[in-house]
Structure 1
Amino acid sequence: MADILPVEDPEPLDAVPAGPLYVPVRPGPTGCAARLFRTPFGERTVVAFTTRRRLGATLGRAQAWVRLCEPALRALAAPIGVTRVTVDPAVVTPASAPSAPRPTRTAGRPAVTLCRS
């Protein structure tokens, strides 16, 4: 009888979004720069959205954006020490108010806080 080796299933959280993502940007001295955010625990993250509609609903329709695939976004953030990519966050709140309530998770989508850096 042949030995059956178990096949390890990938974790659901390891799923890679299909296609280019909508990445919020801000103007910089040499062009556009990806906006940085923080998780509720203070970890720096770059944020991307699977649709333009989700980006607009979260950050406003006037938010500038570029299309990047996830590997390109990770490569862009790695030199500054940012390794987390958050896709389709549900809540974005300004970090400037210290007494503001902490962001909450909504429908399984991660929450992020705007980073003033």
Structure 2
Amino acid sequence: MARVVWHVPVTVTGRTTVLRLFRLRDGRRRAVGFSSAEAPAALLWPARSATEPGEPALRGLTTPLGVDTLVLDPRLVAPPVAGTAARPTPAAAAQLQHR
């Protein structure tokens, strides 16, 4: 069986590298990895740093933090943002201001 390389998003600040964790809608945290080096930039944004730990190392880092699930190659599930259609009409904006 071939070893899957996990490209895991990290934040690098100076000499410190921090593993990025993500949350589900219910608040539970997940560690996320990608099977290709290009995938994090395609889903998150360009210039995103990543590290390549093996799955056992990733589990070793996240288990003490209460993260028990690793997600490989997640897909964005948020609805697309509409351009001008997302703006409320003047009447709807007035109702929002009064609430």
Q: Which of 55, 77, 84 is residue 40 of structure 2 equivalent to?
A: 55
Identity of aligned residues (%): 33
Matching residue of 1:44: 29
Distance 1:43 1:55 in 2: 21
Tell me the CA shift for residue 83 of structure 1: 1.0
Aligned residue pairs, count = 79
Decide which structure has the larger Cα Rg and report it: 2
What are structure 2's unaligned runs of at least 5 residues?
80-99
Contact 1:21 1:69 in 2 (8 A): yes
TM-score by length of 1: 0.58
TM-score by length of 2: 0.68
State the SS of the aligned residue for 1:21.
coil
What are structure 1's unaligned runs of at least 5 residues?
1-15, 93-102, 105-117
Worse-matched range after superposition: 63-72 or 32-41: 32-41
Moved over 4 A (4+): none
Superposition map of 1:37-116 within 5 A: 37-91=22-76, 103=78
Residue deviations 1:33-91 (CA, integer Å, cap 9, x gap): 11010123332101100001111101112101101111111100111111111111111
Of Structure 1 and Structure 2, the greater helix share is in 2
Give the letter aligned to residue 52 of structure 2: R
Q: Which of 23, 45, 48 is residue 8 of structure 2 equivalent to?
A: 23
Distance 2:43 2:2 in 1: 18
- CA RMSD in angstroms, aligned pairs only: 2.4
